[in-house]
Chain A
């Protein structure tokens, strides 16, 4: 079965620190890649997505992610986090048009 791995389960940062969350997947074919964010008590929101082209994609709220095909990775980054970024972050992989699977999530706490 295909899998999506997020190695950081819980990350605690101070405001203005830089963020990098790891995501690896196991599918060898063509994939679409996503990062979703879930703020406390809210529904999933799309942060950014990669389908093709430039492997460095920019999303909302200053987030970006880089697709490295040789490493099967799609890591999420933000140069300077804010307290309002406290949330859970999910990496997701879509393949074969209609199959989407999520990683286990990374809970980010940003201390003011």
Chain B
């Protein structure tokens, strides 16, 4: 199994909603990542978890809250988002210095 699975694939939410994005991998990778990709832009690193501990937070606003419940799961909790947060959110994992990406969750904030 060499997949990173992200759910939901599409999410539409209002600015007052609370929602979560989920990511799962069963490759035994101990580093997991959230990236944000706007249209026609490169992926931007948001958070890195290493051995289930947050190791990198790239100055992301607190309306994005990551969580790593165990070594296979990574969540991104969303609250009070802004329309400019609409983007493709990519989860990735790595073990041997190579990133494996999921297909992403496309988020639209109304």
Residues in A lying within 8 Å of B, measured CB to CB: 32, 34, 43-44, 46, 49, 51, 88, 90, 92, 94, 97-105, 107
Contacts and interface: CB of A to CB of B under 8 A. Distances in A.
Given A43-B90, A90-B42, A90-B43, A98 B98 contact: no
Interface residues of B, number: 22
26 contacts: A32-B97, A32-B98, A34-B98, A44-B90, A44-B101, A46-B99, A49-B98, A51-B97, A92-B99, A94-B97, A94-B98, A94-B99, A97-B97, A98-B31, A98-B94, A99-B45, A99-B48, A100-B33, A100-B92, A100-B94, A100-B99, A102-B42, A104-B41, A104-B42, A105-B40, A105-B41
Interface in B21-51: 31, 33, 40-45, 48, 50
B67 interface: no
Please classify the interface of chain B as helix (H, G, I), strand (E, B), loop, or mixed, using the class held by over half of its residues. Answer: strand
